[in-house]
Amino acid sequence: MKLLLTGNYAAAYAVRDAQPDVISAYPITPQTPIIEKLAEFIDSGELKAKFVRVESEHSAMAALIGAASVGARTYTATSSQGLLYMYEVVWWAAGARLPIVMGLVTRALGPPWNIWSDHADFFTVRSSGWTMLFASSAQEVYDLTLIAYCVAEHRDVLLPALVAWDAFEVSHTYEPVELVEDATRLLPPKGAWAPPLAAEDPASLGNLAYPEEYAETRRLMVEAVRRVPLVFAEAAGRLRELTGRDYSRGYECYRCEDAETVFIAMGSVYGEVRSAVDALRARGVPVGALKVWLYRPFPYEGVARVLDGKKMAIVLSRTTSLGAMGPLATDVATALALKGCSVKLVEFSAGVGGVDVTEDDVVAMYKAALEREGGTYFWRGR
Amino acid sequence: MAHRVFPREEYLLKGHVACPGCGAAVMLRHVLKALGPNTYLVIPACCTSVIAGPHPRSAFRVPVLHIAFAASAAAASGMIEALEKLGKPANVVVWAGDGGTVDIGLQALSGAAERGHNIIYICYDNEAYMNTGIQKSGSTPHGAWTTTTPSGNPGFKKDLPGIMVSHRVPYVATLSPAYPNDTFAKLRKAASMRGGLKYLHALTPCPPGWRYDPSLTIELSRLAVETGMWVLYEVENGVFRLTGPSRALLEKGKRKPVAEYLKLQGRFRHLSPEDVERIQRMVDENWERIAEMLKEGGEHSSEQG
Ligand SMILES: Cc1ncc(C[n+]2csc(CCOP(=O)(O)OP(=O)(O)O)c2C)c(N)n1
Ligand code: SF4
């Protein structure tokens, strides 16, 4: 079935199709339409979930921790200040190994107040143990949200997963979205994982651990995170069989094979990047583009393989990197260093706080990158 | 109520690591006996996060979710909704310190109360942040020494049970480790009630924090009630009722002087006779308010009858 949906509604439809038991959320622009749509689904009986209308984001995530600890499938969504307000319990969810799924509509952090897209919120949780996916269209929001449940609840993983997408350009923009006819063919059956708490078999989740035991719980998390790419690829493979859409590598390449320069981006700007690649190619400039879907764990190997032998990598970071390269560029640098590749790396902070980035901007960035040394630059437009 | 049979089963096991004479541990033992094994505890950061004993073991024979300091009422909200959705009815009980209740956890508690989840919330009140080494909380009594109020607390203890009554939850009650039968009856009642959050507030003496000999915990708990500093009562669907020994203390002459309670504790040692007098007046005024409330309630119910 194909519907015309915004990114936010696409998330709500994916959640409806995943049928969580407990949803909890607190309103914040630009996330709000998701939870309004979910409330409608619950009202109409299409979604049989309990909705805990909490008094803050901290409580939203805490409520899901309580729910998931006894075996519920769960969902929440937030943005920006909301994510920072729940930050403490975002980490708690991961440490407690609970397969919570969250939508994050990326939005700038204040001050000054700004409701438009910026990935600063997203990057703040990159070391928390959450599987982090980035969608660049409404279709991807739908697909990746379903995949997030598959990864989170897999018994080899049991870690929370989030799907992010850009404010407005994706969250509020209508696009045709193809739904999965029968999501149960993709998702794990309910109750496939054993919840940590049950009255029949009393146990304790999260009590004081001395250094050795604490370190052991973290080591086990590291191992679980290492298994994510495989589990992600499996789930994406099932989705491909159902729909033909393929996310299994965790990233997409566009005209990279014979490229000398590769743009790397996440989110809605990728559309402009692809157009710019076509425009530059039309002038005979050998460029390509790489879009990251699976941000954590980061696909170092795959990204390095794509970039190996290239002359230049240009990272478009939709955030301000203060005092160091931005996280995405740092990850690319790490991928290159681990593989021993020497590729010139240029990062542009572009699209910060919702600033429009056009195809012409991307073409101009290419020219600017040729003239400059490797490093981070703030893109102020042409 | 002396006939009530206390369950023999223990759910707070030997090997827990509370200090000797910990009033909170005594209280928790009574609470769990009253609630039984089909009970999930949600515990924020507090002394009890330590009392439970280190991972992967637990000194509690019921499942426990340890959760961030401010988050317990919200975590319990999600848990009860999940258990109801999954068809596994059980008691979901927050067990939180006074700091985790009257200060950092108050927003989540207020939200859970307003939403009306079927949870039991118990605050064990040792009147300071004890886990971090005796710092003033919003529940520290006026005049008490703590490490952050070295010359006595200039503020006044928040009346959290009163705040919860204002949320119109179906049940609010106070508890004391010296009166297990009173505890038992209130917990059984709370567990049987639906239709909203049940709030219980226990005054639990803390030997290192209050600076007294650990053997005196029950005696101090009893003195707190007998002096009228701590009032045992319940508010069921808005109707206030004194319970246990507090029922006999409406008349000032029946109450022991507060000095008897204060003088046993090092945290009040620096108080002058005038300070003690002021605290006595505060206690007496509180009882006058209670008497008025009971009178109004009585008039109200006779009007109805
Ligand atoms: C967000 C946060 N701030 C501070 C702390 C440190 N902390 C842990 S326990 C505690 C005191 C708890 O006091 P209370 O709730 O009164 O319980 P008690 O320790 O007295 O039993 C504090 C301040 C924390 N764990 N989390
Ligand atoms: S410090 Fe006080 S409340 Fe904490 S365990 Fe010791 S006696 Fe109990």
Inter-residue contact A103 to A134 (CB < 8 Å) = no
User: Touching check for B42 and chain A: CB below 8 Å?
Assistant: yes
Q: Which of A69, A190, A220 to probe by mutation at the B interface, max B CB count within 10 Å?
A: A69
| Shortest Cα–Cα distance, A164 to chain B (Å) | 24
Pick the residue from chain B with its C-alpha nearest to A191.
Answer: B86
Task: Kindly indicate the confidence band of residue B227, based on its pLDDT and cuts at 50, 70 and 90.
Answer: very high
Name the residue of B19, B22, B69 whose CB sits within 8 Å of the most ligand 1 atoms, as the mutation to test its pocket. Answer: B69
Q: A22-24 and B39-43 as β-strands: parallel, antiparallel, unpaired? A: unpaired
Give the distance (Å) from ligand 1 centre to CA of residue B38: 27
A19 phi, psi to nearest 5 deg: 50, 60
Cα–Cα distance measured from residue A128 to residue B79, given in angstroms and rounded to the nearest whole number:
23
B146 DSSP β-pair partners: B149
Taking 80 as the threshold, does the pLDDT of residue B137 lie above it?
yes
Domains A2-243 and A251-378 share a fold: yes
Tokens of A32: 């709000």
Cα–Cα distance measured from residue A219 to residue A357, given in angstroms and rounded to the nearest whole number:
41
Inter-residue contact A46 to A16 (CB < 8 Å) = yes
Question: Measured over all CA atoms, what is the biggest interatomic distance in chain A, rounded to whole angstroms?
Answer: 69
Higher pLDDT, B96 or B300: B96
> Which residues of B fall within a CB distance of 8 Å from A72?
78, 81-82, 85-86
ipTM, 2 dp = 0.96
List chain B domain ranges.
2-296
The gap from C-alpha A168 to its chain's centroid, in whole angstroms, comes to 16
- A65 with B65: Cβ contact below 8 A: yes
Taking 60 as the threshold, does the pLDDT of residue A373 lie above it?
yes
3.40.50.970, 3.90.550.10, 3.30.70.660, 3.10.580.10: CATH of A2-243:
3.40.50.970
Global confidence as pTM: 0.97
CATH of domain A251-378: 3.40.50.920
List chain A domain ranges.
2-243, 251-378
Neighbours of B107 (CB within 10 A): 17
| Model pLDDT, residue A321 | 84
pLDDT digits (tens, 9 = 90+) for B17-76: 999 999 999 999 999 999 999 999 999 999 999 999 998 889 999 999 999 999 999 999
Helix A57-69 to helix B72-85 angle (10° resolution) is 50
pLDDT digits (tens, 9 = 90+) for B169-221: 999 999 999 999 999 999 999 999 999 999 999 999 999 999 999 999 999 99
Residue type, A40: E
Please name the member of A21, A66, A214 whose beta carbon is closest to the beta carbon of B77.
A66
User: Touching check for B81 and chain A: CB below 8 Å?
Assistant: yes
Tokens of A174: 């209508």
Inter-residue contact A10 to A66 (CB < 8 Å) = no
Nearby residues of B292 by Cβ (< 8 Å), 6 or more positions away: none
| Model pLDDT, residue B300 | 53
pLDDT digits (tens, 9 = 90+) for A281-317: 999 999 999 999 999 999 999 999 999 999 999 999 9
Among protein residues, the one whose CA lies closest to atom 4 of ligand 2: B47
Nearby residues of A87 by Cβ (< 8 Å), 6 or more positions away: A124, A125
Among protein residues, the one whose CA lies closest to atom 2 of ligand 2: B206
- A199 with B49: Cβ contact below 8 A: no
| Model pLDDT, residue B299 | 61
Residue A380 burial (10 A CB sphere; 0-12, 13-18, 19+): exposed
B72 phi, psi to nearest 5 deg: -65, -45
Cα–Cα distance measured from residue A276 to residue B268, given in angstroms and rounded to the nearest whole number:
75
Task: Kindly indicate the confidence band of residue B6, based on its pLDDT and cuts at 50, 70 and 90.
Answer: confident
> Which residues of A fall within a CB distance of 8 Å from B82?
21-22, 50, 66-68, 70-72
pLDDT digits (tens, 9 = 90+) for A52-89: 999 999 999 999 999 999 999 999 999 999 999 999 99
Pick the residue from chain A with its C-alpha nearest to B59.
Answer: A204
- A207 with B54: Cβ contact below 8 A: yes
Cα–Cα distance measured from residue B127 to residue B221, given in angstroms and rounded to the nearest whole number:
13
User: What DSSP string runs through A235-263?
Assistant: HHHHHHHHHS---TTSEEEES-TT-SEEE
Name the residue of B16, B22, B135, B212 whose CB sits within 8 Å of the most ligand 2 atoms, as the mutation to test its pocket. Answer: B22
| Shortest Cα–Cα distance, A194 to chain B (Å) | 13
User: What three-state secondary structure class fits B77?
Assistant: helix
- B79 with A217: Cβ contact below 8 A: no
Nearby residues of B101 by Cβ (< 8 Å), 6 or more positions away: B109, B121, B123, B125, B139, B160, B201
Q: Is the alpha carbon torsion for A296, A294, A144, A134 positive or negative?
A: positive
Q: What residues are in contact with ligand 1 under a 6 Å CB criterion?
A: B 45-47, 69, 97-100, 126, 129-132, 137
Cα–Cα distance measured from residue B43 to residue B35, given in angstroms and rounded to the nearest whole number:
16
- B52 with A59: Cβ contact below 8 A: no
CATH topology for the B2-296 domain = Rossmann fold (3.40.50)
